[in-house]
């Protein structure tokens, strides 16, 4: 049980860091990632655990976008 709580705490910490590093509040980040605001709020508060693959995808997406921006490549959805 303690292990699950620690895992959830770590997940929350990582998600919040990604959002804050992106310079966004919850509303902006939910819009940016296409995640319902209520879902993001529940993930960050620990009321709900996000699937591990979702955190990996969010991490990958934000890091890749930053990498491309540094290279002068701007990704725009159509």
Domain count, the chain: 1
In a domain, 53, yes or no: yes
Per-residue pLDDT, 27 = 98
pTM: 0.84
77 falls within a domain: no
Both tokens assigned to 33: 């990632």
Burial of 73 (0-12, 13-18, 19+ CB in 10 A): exposed
Query: Is 19 a domain residue?
Result: yes
The residue with greater pLDDT, 78 or 59, is 59
For position 34, which CATH number holds? Answer: 1.10.260
Residue 77 is predicted with a pLDDT of 64
In angstroms, rounded to a whole number, what is the distance separating the alpha carbons of residues 74 and 55? 23
Whether 57 is in a domain gets the answer yes
78 has a pLDDT exceeding 60: no
Q: Is residue 76 part of a domain?
A: no
Q: Which two tokens stand for residue 67?
A: 């990498």
Q: Which domain holds residue 54?
A: 2-70
The answer to whether position 26 is within a domain reads: yes
Cβ count within 10 A of residue 58: 20
Structure confidence by residue, pLDDT tens digits, 28-76: 999 999 999 999 999 999 999 999 999 999 999 999 988 998 899 887 7
């Amino acid at each position: 049980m303690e292990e699950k709580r620690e895992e959830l705490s770590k997940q929350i910490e990582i998600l919040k860091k990604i959002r804050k590093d992106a310079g966004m509040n919850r509303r902006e980040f939910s819009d940016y990632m296409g995640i319902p605001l209520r879902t993001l709020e529940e993930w960050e508060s620990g009321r709900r655990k996000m699937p591990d693959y979702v955190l990996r995808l969010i991490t990958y997406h934000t890091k890749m976008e930053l990498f491309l921006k540094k290279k002068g490549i701007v990704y725009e959805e159509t």
